[in-house]
């Protein structure tokens, strides 16, 4: 079991409970998907022990509390999906500094501080902006995002960046 790389228990709503601490012994885990399982409680700090994790999805549960900054220990993490829980507070700065993180989905949570200027600037320059209409509805756009985008680029540079990788598809 220690060599397990993929664990998908999604859709098993009857499981419920909290994220088990035994999960952290799966050091080789790369893909973890716990969507729609009726999970409660907080995302534990020991999630940071999953250092080989590339994909983590724990959407459509009943998770509460703040996001642990320990996600930043997951150095390989490329996609983090936390939609439709009851997570609150702010997204830790450590998450915005994760060099491999390409996709962060947090809609459906009362989170603040969604878009750090340095994070957006880095992602735009690297063409990794991955906003899609279905993940980030128009009504949920942070009010300052348009102003932020225009401050990051001169108008002609913004146009080139938007043509290279449109914000919405």
Domains of the chain: 1-114 (3.80.10.10), 115-169 (no CATH)
Q: What's the pLDDT tens digit per position in 35-94?
A: 999 999 999 999 999 999 999 999 999 999 999 989 999 999 999 999 999 999 888 888
Task: Give, rounded to a whole angstrom, the gap between the first and last alpha carbons of the chain.
Answer: 40
Q: Supply the pTM of this predicted model.
A: 0.68
pLDDT at 129 over 80: no
Sorting pLDDT into bands at 50, 70 and 90, what band is 147? low
Structure tokens at 13: 């709503």
How many whole angstroms separate alpha carbon 32 and alpha carbon 165?
Answer: 28
- DSSP SS3 for 120: helix
Structure tokens at 45: 């700090």
pLDDT at 95 over 70: yes
What count of Cα atoms within 13 Å lies in the side-chain half-sphere of residue 58? 22
Sorting pLDDT into bands at 50, 70 and 90, what band is 161? low
């Amino acid at each position: 079991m220690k060599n397990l790389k993929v664990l998908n228990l999604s859709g098993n709503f009857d499981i419920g409970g909290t994220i088990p601490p035994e999960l952290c012994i799966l050091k080789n885990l790369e893909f973890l998907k716990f969507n729609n399982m009726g999970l409660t409680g907080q995302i534990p700090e020991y999630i940071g022990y999953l250092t080989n994790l590339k994909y983590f999805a724990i959407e459509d549960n009943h998770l509460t509390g703040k996001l642990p900054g320990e996600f930043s220990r997951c150095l390989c993490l490329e996609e983090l999906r936390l939609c439709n829980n009851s997570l609150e507070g702010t997204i830790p700065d450590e998450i915005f500094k994760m060099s491999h993180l390409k996709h962060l989905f947090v809609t459906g949570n009362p989170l603040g501080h969604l878009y750090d200027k340095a994070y957006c600037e880095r992602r735009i320059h690297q063409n990794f902006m991955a906003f899609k209409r279905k993940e980030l509805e128009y009504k949920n756009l942070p009010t300052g995002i348009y102003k932020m985008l225009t401050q990051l680029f001169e108008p002609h540079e913004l146009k080139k960046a938007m043509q290279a990788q449109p914000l919405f598809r």
